[in-house]
Amino acid sequence: MRYFVRRLIHLAVVVFAVTTLTFFMLNLLPGDAAYHTVSEEASPQDVEAIREELGLDRNVFVRYVRLLKDTVCGDLGTSSRSREPVMQTLMACLPVTAELLILSQIIALSLAVPLGILCASKAETILDTLLSSAAFAMISVPSFVMAIVLIYCFALKLGWFPATGYVPLSEGFLPNIKSFVLPSLSIALAEWVTLMRVLRADMIITLHQDYILAAKAKGVQPGSVLFKHALRPSSLTLITVLGINVGHLMGGALIVETIYALPGIARLMVKSILARDVAMVQGCVLFITVGCVLINFLIDMAYSIIDPRIRRRRPIA
Amino acid sequence: MPDFRKRIGLSSRNPGKGRLGPSFWLPLTWILFLVISAVGAHIWNLPEPDDMDPLNSSAPPGCVREARVGKEVSGSASGPPFHVLGTDTMGRDMASRLIFGARISLSVGLLAPAVGLLLGGTLGIMAGFYRGRLGTAIMIVMDTIFAFPGLVLILVVAYSLGVTPTNLVIALGILTAPAFSRIARANTMAYAAQDFVLAARTLGSSDGRILCREILPNIVSPLFAFGLMLVAIMIVVEGALGFLGLGVPPPTPSWGGMIAEGREVLDDAPHVSMIPSLVMFMTVLSFNLIANGLKRVSGIRRYAP
Amino acid sequence: MKRVLERSTDSSLCNLPSRISVMVMCAVFLPFCLSSAGGEPPVAVKRRGGTVSVGLESDFPGFDPLKAHGLGLSAATALNLVGERLFDTAGDGRCIPVLGLSAEPSDDGKTWTIKLRKGVFFHDGSPFTADAVVHHWKRILDPANRFRGRLLLRPIRSVRRVDDHTVQFDLRAPWASFLTTISSIRFIASYIPSPKAVDAKTYDRAPVGTGPFMFKEWKTGERFVVVRNPKYRRQGKPYLDGIVFRFQPDPQTRYASLKSGQIDVMWTDRGNVILKAKSDKSLVTYEKEGPGATVLLLNNTKPPLDDLRVRRALAHAWNQDFFVRMAAGGTVPSVHDPFGDTLKCDDVGHREYDIDRAKALLKEYGRPVVLQMDHTSTPRGRVFAEITQQLFKRVGVVVKPAPCDYLQLRKRLITNAYQLSGYVMRGNGDMGPMLSALFFSGSPLNLTRYGQPEMDKLLIDQLTESDPVRRKSRLCSIARLLNKDVPIIYAGGIRHYIFARPEVKGIGPIDLGIARLSWVWLDR
């Protein structure tokens, strides 16, 4: 329990520092939200008036304290760009990013787990070498290059999926999934390699453990040995890497959301930064950071399920 | 642990363990080729990278340059009579743009990790050696940078200072510093507790002397190995920024920018995107292979945070 | 701008005869006004029902004039269905009654009396009366409300109700563009909102008007839905059950969606998409040249651009045909004035591409010319800068592109802290007000800080001149002067493109790039 409290405090400090830094960094950017509302034909007086309206004429620190107070009270404020409540917009964008990330993780895992097991069980064979080399090549493909290649092959040449664009769930499940296949693949294909390598390494070690040898000696089917006995204890590092990756994924999500024109949270953040929509950027940063924290927390939980011995002994960064 | 590490890489099965095979020399040749092309870009009599050939936009590799046909609107006529790798959407020579773009990609790729190594490495050693308030403070700063949305920093740099290769290198260096600092700290802590450091201390060596003579030599190689891995990543990041329109300003070409520009004509002229994509892939792969090879040979294990 | 008017008042007192010729530009009395042109097939042929999807580039900024401050092309397309204006303009400049029935200027040209249509109701049930019009226009004109477009409206002194269905606008001086300005399709204040919705502060994100379609739903960044107004005053219209606007920022996506039938109508201005869509026989192309122009702004106060020789040299170094081909795939025309198809001038003395003259002028200037060009880091902005850099490089002028985000660019433009920048001169049926705003020496919107007494005089003259022929010659003189003094360089005119699937019938004229979808029907 104390461990969790301490972690919570540590995280609170980091979240606070990140949002503070974001706020002041945004203020360093030339131009403010008033210039978003006006057009080129505005006079400097118009800009000043709008600045007043948005409360931008007040001191940076005053504004920051106010924002902080509102955030603590659970009010994320109103977007200066769309004049919609920040919460509402975030809630609209969240499912898009969530769907993208979840689908990509499912694809990555469904590639990594079977291939990782395969490579581990056939370690040091030609099959293993070939697969590992292919994986090594794949990890060297930047996600935007992967996206371009996927669009070219599967959308433009084969026409299986739409090239870009988002179809909301309200327009049918299949079209929705179809619009997510290529974006998720773009992320998954770059990521599964790491997962596979980690699983393969852990699996090799597990396969040399006595209890596996004992199971084999008892005549348990090889497939059953791999999936029932070896997979669970071998997936510790895999899970950790999944957690660490969540942070990186947001960067990947930005590129993918941009290329495929998905209205997700990463793109919302960039658009809001460009519009100096401070409230919205803060909302995005908060959501993303808390999201990462939550996922890592869940992964901590997963540890104790996978290996009950670990419980509360191992602090995971 | 060492046994485990050996098993994961491609290396463990390599019969010539400890020697560098073609999977090291081939990529090194490619990188050297790129470096030589990029360094001598102005000597090779290339078409200017910003020279637009209005009759040949998105032209396939090998097309005849308009400058050689008539010179109604064209600029300079230096270089070969063909567009060796074709042209981009604005009729600019792809080969020339790739070579000039390599200057940016390579210098950012190599220098940003260097900055990160210097900055993060130094702070990490300090944090590992002087644990206590200073160490905690350094690590909190590093954690904050680590959790900070890098894009915000990049945007601030890009828009308030302007994107120049120098600014890009510094910004990316700062963003990579936390990872270096963690490695440096972990390793310093491990070595600081070892007997030879204690021995040096009992012999009355100063902190500075212990750091430089006893600890530094031991942690340089894991830092260096991590830095080499980062080279590939930084090239990708620079490409991504160019792709998002946040790269170096025109007319300087950047690989990521070239790939992004080709998106519009992906259907009719895929080479405009695909050629720079391929070059980028080969370069990233090469750096990965080189890093892998060196890691294997030097037997560095303690590189991960 | 204030000065414009004071001086224009003076000049009108000095120069004009006491009786101003009556401006019967829009004094149309049509009790049974059927606005659309004669070519339509009879109603019986048109099918009722169905929904049309429209792919737009950007989401709307909102509809309350005091909050959104402007009306983009996308938003105008939607607002034109929900709201209605007092008058509409036909392609030839004729005025068509919509909510207003007639407009008549007083003898001195300073008062306009507008008769309003009776028996019209807003979607929320409140009646459309003179009060609604006055409520709206008072709000727009109130200086305390700081409506951004008010500078264009400065000639209007006040608005008042005469009776239930008559309003009167008082002007400070005779103003030739009065009617076209207050009912322009791209002017956010043209659309009369329901006073109830405005007072409830809901109008911004849920517009209520009198139009053939009613607002139903707006999901930011995703869709905007309008449905048929069953109580619309014109029997049998509109034909469609609803129209869905989908926001698809990427033009390639929009095109692919149009091909696959996910959307039925799309707008784009990207050259390569236009070329592809135009050559596609399964789609119908609507194209129309319009007023306005893409221009390169030269900041006249920043050396070396304060030297006329340098500006002229740049104009001669500029190859507009090359630019248009490279930046837009030749899908927009090269232009010599900003009037598009609304006004044809004989010769405006455009400076043609002539490298030798450019070099000679630069030699005369004698010093090296190095310029910074601010541009957005979007593909559009980058291409503009790259071509500019390339073209000027050929005469030895160094252009350093400086990418920034649009907000920063805006700041630099407004605060006059730039040297070169691309800019789109928005088209309007009447370019006069726009020109006054951009080039009058005292105007705060004078982005190039160009100031010439001759230009000021011409701008005031065109503002008050009521005789169409003389006004035209004034406007052409302005274009000529612009080419002579080069505060701007033309980088292509405007040609609007709308692409639709063949079963979508009845898309109105796409003046100013706005697809008129009110009377669309589906032939399925």
pTM score: 0.82
B1 touches chain A (CB under 8 A): no
Q: Do B144 and A148 touch (CB under 8 A)?
A: no
In this model, does residue C30 exceed pLDDT 60?
A: no
- Which of C71, C146, C378, C404 to mutate to probe the A interface, most A CBs <10 Å? C146
| Per-residue model confidence as pLDDT tens digits over B209-241 | 887 877 788 888 888 888 888 888 889 888 888
Q: Among B106-115, C30-39, C278-287, C431-440, name the one with the lowest average pLDDT.
A: C30-39
Q: What is the C-alpha separation between C353 and C491, in angstroms, rounded? A: 12
HEC readout, C112-128? EEEEECCCCECCCCCEC
Q: Which pLDDT does position B135 carry in this prediction?
A: 79
How many beta-carbon contacts under 8 Å exist across A and C?
102
Q: Which residues of chain A have pLDDT under 50?
A: 311-317
To the nearest whole angstrom, how far is the Cα of B234 from the nearest Cα of chain C? 21
Q: Do B280 and A145 touch (CB under 8 A)?
A: yes
B270 touches chain C (CB under 8 A): no
Q: What is the mean pLDDT of residues B26-51?
A: 86
Q: Which among A13, A129, A200 has the least Cβ separation from residue B13?
A: A129
Chain B residue numbers with beta carbons less than 8 Å from the beta carbon of C390 are 50-52, 75, 251
The chain-wide mean pLDDT, for chain C, equals 84
Indicate the pairing of strand C420-425 with strand C398-404: unpaired
| Per-residue model confidence as pLDDT tens digits over C178-189 | 888 888 888 888
What is the dihedral sign for C-alpha B58, B64, B69, B73?
A: positive
Q: Is B134 strand, coil or helix? A: helix
Q: Which among A30, A39, A84 has the least Cβ separation from residue C408?
A: A30
Q: Do C414 and A49 touch (CB under 8 A)?
A: no
Q: Which among C205, C249, C444 has the least Cβ separation from residue A261?
A: C249
Burial class (CB in 10 A: 0-12, 13-18, 19+), B53: buried
Q: Which pLDDT does position C93 carry in this prediction?
A: 65
In this model, does residue C247 exceed pLDDT 70?
A: yes
Q: What is the C-alpha separation between A132 and B106, in angstroms, rounded? A: 27
A92 touches chain C (CB under 8 A): yes
Q: Which among C276, C326, C389 has the least Cβ separation from residue B50?
A: C389
A71 touches chain B (CB under 8 A): no
Chain C residue numbers with beta carbons less than 8 Å from the beta carbon of A39 are 69-70, 148, 410
Q: Which pLDDT does position A35 carry in this prediction?
A: 80
Indicate the pairing of strand C242-247 with strand C265-267: unpaired
pLDDT tier, C372 (very low <50, low <70, confident <90, very high otherwise) = very high
In this model, does residue C20 exceed pLDDT 60?
A: no
Is residue A261 within 8 A of residue A166, CB to CB? The reply is yes
Q: Which among C252, C326, C379 has the least Cβ separation from residue B52?
A: C326
In this model, does residue C16 exceed pLDDT 80?
A: no
pLDDT tier, C131 (very low <50, low <70, confident <90, very high otherwise) = very high
Q: Do A82 and C69 touch (CB under 8 A)?
A: no
Q: Which residues pair with C494 in a beta bridge?
A: C290
Q: Which pLDDT does position C14 carry in this prediction?
A: 29
- Cα nearest neighbour of A40 on chain C: C410
Q: Do C414 and A47 touch (CB under 8 A)?
A: yes
Q: Which pLDDT does position B67 carry in this prediction?
A: 55
ipTM of the complex: 0.78
| Per-residue model confidence as pLDDT tens digits over B257-300 | 898 888 888 888 888 989 999 999 999 999 888 888 887 776 55
In this model, does residue B153 exceed pLDDT 90?
A: no
Chain A residue numbers with beta carbons less than 8 Å from the beta carbon of B292 are 136
Q: Do C220 and A39 touch (CB under 8 A)?
A: no
- Lookup: tokens for A18: 């990140």
Q: Which among B50, B54, B245 has the least Cβ separation from residue C382?
A: B245
Q: How far is CA B300 from the centre of its chain?
A: 21
- Cα nearest neighbour of A116 on chain B: B8
Q: What is the mean pLDDT of residues B62-80?
A: 59
Q: Do C408 and A43 touch (CB under 8 A)?
A: no
In this model, does residue B15 exceed pLDDT 60?
A: no
What percent of chain C is predicted at pLDDT more than 70?
A: 91
Q: Which pLDDT does position B230 carry in this prediction?
A: 86
A133 touches chain B (CB under 8 A): yes
Q: Is C182 strand, coil or helix? A: helix
Q: Which among C272, C326, C408 has the least Cβ separation from residue B54?
A: C326
Q: What is the mean pLDDT of residues B183-198?
A: 81
| Per-residue model confidence as pLDDT tens digits over C74-90 | 899 999 999 999 998 77
pLDDT tier, B12 (very low <50, low <70, confident <90, very high otherwise) = very low
